[in-house]
Amino acid sequence: MITAFNLAGFFAAHAIWCVSDGEGLVPMFAHSGENDERQMERLLAGDDLGASVELGKNKLESNEADANDGVLVYDGRIPVQGQKYDAIIIEIRSYFSPASKAVMAVPYKPAASGDFRVFKPKLLQWEECDDFDVNMVVQSFFEGVDAHEKGAEVWNRALDQSI
């Protein structure tokens, strides 16, 4: 899961960069294979974002790309401290441990509010991951964020640790 979380961090930073200017996020399926080569596909099922996310969930589960790791990144909303927040949702798979599933969310305050903010990521799911050290995978997530030059710059400039 360490390399999967690194991949997740990289594309979470990419997503934050995409939404920072107020644009909507097209769901993305990203995967890495041999030599950790990263590939990303934007998912469009017509104008139906829900269908696009479902397409991504199917790609994530099927591993048709025969990847080592896969992530699905899309825009959603999550509850935090009794309020709903916009969030980048990242579903994470390490295909070397196919039963393991993790989901992270990066809450943010949209640019339309006049003050784009990025809040602390939340681990929403950690299923069949007992063989992995959660602290190490979270560290790898942030290393992935830092590896995305533009995304990390936007993330760090808008960082708000209040929630």
Domain spans in the chain, listed from the N-terminal domain onward: 2-158
pLDDT in tens, 24-83: 899 999 999 877 789 999 998 878 888 999 999 999 999 998 999 999 999 999 999 899
What mean pLDDT is reported for the chain?
Answer: 93
Cβ 61 vs Cβ 89: under 8 Å: no
Cβ 92 vs Cβ 138: under 8 Å: no
Of 29, 35, 26, which Cα lies nearest the Cα of 3?
A: 35
